[in-house]
A and B are shown apart, each in its own frame.
Chain A
């Protein structure tokens, strides 16, 4: 177990943890806008950590470049899709927060898993 491997493991595990945090946020946050936060931010950090963790394992400039390219493209795509979801949600006037009088528990059960494209879902 070299130092490098330990470092790699830490990076990979913390990257995976970031994904987990993002996914929990996706499920637990109350409305579309906050969910986009959870997804785009946490996942980008998670992916970044994993990419850095993977680079030492490749030992090849070409592969390293490819991994970095993947990272860049995913960042671009997730930024764009996050923006588009928020844009469309605003256009359809999806409310910002759960309406008054609903406990957070109810909101969760009603809206669980209406993922980022929730604008497409029939409003309940």
Chain B
């Protein structure tokens, strides 16, 4: 058991928890938080798993995770802009339930 493996497992757990929340919840804000959990889990897996394989600190994957974090915050911000607009128009915090489609 080394640090890389432990944090890879941590990432796996975060992905699982986030995925659960993303499907289970209907509140848009909660789903956005769940998406961020999946994202953080993915980043942990990226670095932990790669470094476990390479056996050394892997700067390439770390740089990619930095890119990923910035993209994730942009996605969150975009989601929040849309959600707020939705609140304003509909006064609701969730999307209407899917019909037969």
Asked if A and B touch directly (CB within 8 angstroms), the answer is no
